[in-house]
Chain A
Amino acid sequence: MSTLTTIDGELLIFNSQLNKTSLISAELNEVLNNLQEASEELDTETFNLAISELTKQGLVISTT
């Protein structure tokens, strides 16, 4: 899993296992940054669950 923070503050995540890319809004990225400071890096399974849940809540802008 690779991440790229854009100059606009959004987060792009590449999931190499699924070959999928997700775009996370700048607002949510800030929340994730705060979470990351408080925890270890998420494993893939947890990441997928998180993305799934966030998508349901309309917080992931898009995934391809």
Chain B
Amino acid sequence: MTRDHEAFVTYRAGRFNFRLFTSISRLKETVSQIYAPLDPDNIVDFEIAVQPQRWYRPQVTFKFQQTEPFLPLPANQAYPLLEWGMNWCVTQHCHQYLIIHAAVLEKNNKVIILPGSPGSGKSTLSAALCLLDGWNLLSDEMALVDTTSGLVFPSPRPISLKNASIDIVSQFPCAKQITPSVKDTTKGTVAHLVAPCHRSFSIDQGYPAVAVVFPTYTPTSTCNRLNPITVGNSFMRLIENSFNYHILRQVGFDALGQLANACGHYTYPNNGNFSESFALLNELIR
């Protein structure tokens, strides 16, 4: 592919290296503010493009090689489209990991996994844990489980905040780096938060997970409580939250079994009382 005449930026996003071709200068600026530039001698994992098209009601497209996995979106959604596109690249190609739709947080070298469907409050809770209680964000969108060891590998990227959670998290004192809100996306209003790093950790090191917690935001709940569930119940829920369990087949079954049998498993209906959440989740890593 010869595209030397086009502007591009290369950067490391979590565990993966991207080269982004784009003529949208604002997008390049945002990427440069959020992600670390890549040394020239590093290998690029994914070469992608986010480009504008048409002048009337301008749109942007995401492209990986010759594939356009998404319909064009309004031009102001360029950054969310890039984030969703990068997620797509990883979930569609990185089958050396069992990939679970989940946030992953670490404290004291112990990891908890928070799988959650949209609206479960997973990202808001993750942001609160990182900004207010000293947890490290290993990932917001996907738990990368090594299929050999069952360890979870970090791939930290910004937390995707949606709708009401943007205002909630913006009020946290340490929420310094949040991208401007983008309205009317397929997920509502979205913004991305760069979580602080409380201690340096190697993204090449895998961590043992000690707990799997399925949060559900339940505003009417009168008390926040972790409800233990069986390993089998959690296993089946994790399959539902996995991007590639059915692709990995036997390997996925073995990897998930290794992970699941080493963890405690809980559902966590909560009303958004963060101080109670901190107390409960810190108990899991003692």
Show the binding face of A for B, using Cβ within 8 Å.
Answer: 2, 4, 6-8, 10-12, 14, 16, 19, 21, 23-24, 26, 61-62, 64
A8 x B253 contact (CB < 8 A): no
Query: Any chain A CB within 8 A of the CB of B249?
Result: yes
A61 and B236 contact, Cβ closer than 8 Å, known pairs A2-B250, A19-B249: yes
Interface status of B232 (Cβ within 8 A of chain A) = yes
Interface membership of B23, Cβ < 8 A: no
* The residue from B236, B240, B249 contacting A23, defined by CB atoms under 8 A apart: B236
From the candidates B231, B233, B239, B250, name the one contacting A7 in the complex (CB within 8 A). B231
Given A19-B246, A64-B240: A6 and B261 interface contact (C-beta under 8 Å) = yes
Majority SS at the chain B contact face: helix
Knowing A7-B231, A8-B230 are in contact, say whether A64-B239 is a contact too (CB < 8 A): yes
Contact across chains for A4 and B257 when beta carbons are under 8 A apart: yes
Taken together as a complex, chains A and B put the C-alpha atoms of A23 and B238 apart, in Å, by 13
Q: With the chains together, A26 CA to B231 CA distance in Å?
A: 11
Q: List 9 A-B contacts (CB under 8 A).
A: A6-B261, A7-B261, A8-B232, A14-B249, A14-B250, A21-B235, A21-B253, A23-B235, A23-B236
Asked if residues B236 and A62 are in contact (CB atoms below 8 Å), the reply is yes
Choice from B232, B249, B253 contacting A10 with Cβ under 8 Å: B232
Query: Known contacts being A2-B254, A21-B236, A61-B236, is A10 close to B246, with CB within 8 Å?
Result: no
Cα separation A61 to B246 with both chains bound (whole Å) = 19
Q: Assess A10 versus B230: contact at CB under 8 Å? Given A21-B236, A61-B236, A64-B240.
A: yes
Report the minimum CB–CB distance from B217 to chain A (whole Å): 24
Whether B82 is near chain A, meaning CB under 8 Å from some CB there, is no
For the A-B complex with A6-B232, A14-B253 known, give 5 more contacts whose Cβ atoms are closer than 8 Å.
A4-B257, A6-B261, A21-B235, A21-B236, A23-B235
1/0 contact string of B227-252 vs chain A (CB within 8 Å): 00011110110011000001001100
Q: Which residues of B contact A10 (CB under 8 A)?
A: 230-232
